[in-house]
Structure 1
Amino acid sequence: MTINPYAGSPFSYVAEPPAAPYSIVELMPGVRNLLEYVRLEAGERVLLLMEHAVDPVVVQAIGAAAAYRDADVRILSVAPFSPGGWDREAPLDIETAAFREADVVISGTWWGEVHTAPLFFDQIKSRSSRFLSLHMTATAGALLTGGRLPAEVFYALLRRALRQLTAAGSIRVTSERGTDVTFSGLTFDPDPGAMRPGDWRPFPYGGANFWPTDTEGVLVVEDSTVTGVPEEPVRITLEGNLVRKIEGGAAAEQLRRYAPGGYYMRHGLFGLNPKVRVSGGTQFEREKHAGAFYCGLDGLTGGVPVKTGPGFAHCDCQIDRPTVLVDGEVFVERGRLLMLDEPEIREVAAQFGPPEVILDDNPVMILPRRYTGAPTR
């Protein structure tokens, strides 16, 4: 049996420990960054779309901060969303009606929009709302750690990463557990800047997202949204951007059963946020940690990839400490994002405090409050 420190990661908000009521004080730096990221303005209609099991302290912190900015706040408590289209007939009329009327939606769901047709990305883009997703991250832990990184520092990291990544012909990801996969034909999300109507963004902010046209090699799953941490290695063989083989005991069978029609490689993401927690965090927190990597397999529709809608069998696979080569040049070395040491990044971080503190990628060390907000004078 594989021993993994993340084997106890929570599987839903029900499994998350509750926050003490007074901890709302410590959540406010992260909530402030959240509202600045979504560019909340006075008078805007804000919908907090929160699953029933989300910690009330988290909901109160976000709602109170939005109200303090003179926003018109509505809180809608909803049933948990099901993964992968398992409950395709679930009535979501109330949720979608509220979403259509909001200027800003802050969503606290576990499985997120990628699994739900009425709230899928094409529906978000067709509306005027700005949609901020706390996908598995509507937790005190996420707001206290990754949420504290100043947005300006994240944007500096993202711009620097995209300069190198968007020019790449191929990107190779390896791990000590046996992953060796190469991506090519790459399209990256651009530096998004200020949120606009129809935008969808995750929070805490965290990475450089891309879509490949070709993927070749073997992916060894360390954790996935379908299997959790497998008891024995799960090896996924990819050729021509399609999954050709899944091997590895009970977890491999679970993965095959989740999408009996097969999978393709939909997207990947390189984590850039040094303050996102690793130990104790959900997969959708850990993926954003500086130096981490994850990729999303999506179910085929009628035997082919269909990217205009949900595949209804989306499975995200995590690699915590990869080595990443961009056209042969080391980008990440055994989980260490090398650009954290570059002068241009340290110069931006220095506006908020000591760069060695702001950019320290030890996720156990929480960023002090005085380094999380306005630039120091």
Structure 2
Amino acid sequence: MTINPYAGSPFSYVAAPAAAPYSIVELMPGVRNLCEYVRLEAGERVLLLMEHTVDPVVVQAIAAAMAFRDADVRILSVPPFSPGGWDKGAWLDIETAAFREADVVISGTWWGEVHTAPLFFDQIKARSSRFLSLHMTATAGALLTGGRLPAEVFYALLSRTLRQLSAARTIRVTSAQGTDLTFSGLAFDPDPGAMRPGDWRPFPYGGANFWPTGTEGVLVVEDCTVTGVPEDTLRLTFEGNLVREIDGGTAAEQLRRYAPEGYYMRHGLFGLNPKVRVAGGTQFEREKHAGSFYCGIDGLTGGVPVTTGPGFAHCDCQFDRPTVHVDGELFIDRGRLLILDEPEIREVAARFGPPDVILDDNPVMILPRRYTGAGAPELVVES
């Protein structure tokens, strides 16, 4: 049996613990960073697209901060989205119409846009909205932890990561449970900074996203979208970026049913945010923690990968303590992101407080509010 110490994360917002009303005070540093990240301007039309089950304190914190900045805020409470296209016929005309009229969209959904055709990335890019996704992270815990990291520190980590990884020929990911994957033909999301029209970004900010054309080896599932933590060893064998075999009892059968046509490796992400919580966090919080790794396999369409739309069987696999080599050089050592110790990263962190505090990747320690970026320089967008 695979054992994961963080397997107790909730399965939807309805299962997430509610925050005490006065905790809104402690959410404001994270919400301030959210507003700055989305480049909110006075007078902009803001849509808060929130599932019925999202904690009202979280909705109130975001809405109040944006109203304080003189934005024109609308809150739309919607039914939860279904994963993997299970409800392809769901009526989403109201959500789609509201999204098209907004300058800024803050999406508090559990399964996120990758599972929904009317709000998929191609639709977002075709509009002028700036779309910020709290994918499984519309929680007090996410705003209190990962949301507090100053954006400038995250972008220093991302820039340093992309310098090394974008030029890599191969990236190898291994784990104590038996995963041994080698990725090649890599394309990384440059993520140039604060948001622009047509952009989709997750919050809290968290990682370096990439798309491989080659994936070879074995993935042993520790925790994934479809099965959670499997009872038996669940092993996926990759050749040529396709899943060729799925072995592992009941969980293997669940995974096959989810995508009867099979799977391919769609993308991966290396977590870079040292303040994202791990203990008690959802899968899409933990993926952003510095030193973590996750990858998304997606369903084949007509037996082939189709990347221009949702695969309607997206399954993300989370690894909390991987080891990663980039062209043979150690990059993550059993969950420890080595660049956290580099002088250039510590120099940026020192602008906000003690680097030993800002960059400490203890997954349960909350960053003190005076180190969260108040009065920090404005995030510069690259041209």
- Percent sequence identity is 88
Distance 1:155 1:48 in 2: 26
The normalised TM-score by structure 2 is 0.97
* 1:5, distance to aligned residue in structure 2 (A): 1.8
Distance 1:322 1:7 in 2: 16
In structure 1, the partner of 2:125 is: 125
The gaps in structure 1 that reach 5 residues or longer are: none
Mark the CA change 1:376 to 1:38 in structure 2 (over 3 Å): closer, same or farther.
closer
5 Å-filtered alignment, 1:90-129, equals 90-129=90-129
In structure 1, the partner of 2:26 is: 26
- Per-residue CA deviations over 1:296-353 (Å, capped at 9, x if unaligned) read 0000000000000000000000111010000000000000000000000000000000
In structure 2, the partner of 1:253 is: 253
In structure 1, the partner of 2:359 is: 359
Distance 1:313 1:2 in 2: 23
The gaps in structure 2 that reach 5 residues or longer are: 378-383
Distance 1:51 1:350 in 2: 38
Distance 2:156 2:374 in 1: 16
For the residue of structure 2 that corresponds to 1:118, the secondary structure is: helix
* 1:101, distance to aligned residue in structure 2 (A): 0.1
* 1:375, distance to aligned residue in structure 2 (A): 5.5
In structure 2, the partner of 1:64 is: 64
- Does residue 55 in structure 1 map to residue 27 in structure 2? no
- Maintained 8 Å contact 2:3/2:229: no
- Matched AA of 2:156: A
In structure 1, the partner of 2:322 is: 322
- Matched AA of 2:366: I
In structure 2, the partner of 1:211 is: 211
Distance 1:304 1:334 in 2: 34
- Does residue 135 in structure 1 map to residue 135 in structure 2? yes
Distance 2:102 2:297 in 1: 31
For the residue of structure 2 that corresponds to 1:224, the secondary structure is: coil
- Maintained 8 Å contact 1:321/1:335: yes
- Maintained 8 Å contact 1:297/1:315: yes
- Matched AA of 2:194: A
What is the root-mean-square deviation of aligned Cα atoms in Å? 1.0
In structure 1, the partner of 2:201 is: 201
For the residue of structure 2 that corresponds to 1:135, the secondary structure is: coil
For the residue of structure 2 that corresponds to 1:223, the secondary structure is: coil
- Matched AA of 1:262: G
Distance 1:340 1:39 in 2: 27
For the residue of structure 2 that corresponds to 1:127, the secondary structure is: coil
* 1:250, distance to aligned residue in structure 2 (A): 1.0
- Per-residue CA deviations over 1:189-212 (Å, capped at 9, x if unaligned) read 003212111000000000000000
Distance 2:262 2:71 in 1: 45
- Maintained 8 Å contact 1:6/1:229: no
Report runs of 4+ in structure 1 exceeding 6 Å deviation.
Answer: none
Distance 1:144 1:339 in 2: 24
- Matched AA of 1:184: S
- Per-residue CA deviations over 1:92-119 (Å, capped at 9, x if unaligned) read 0000000000000000000000000000
Distance 2:352 2:233 in 1: 42
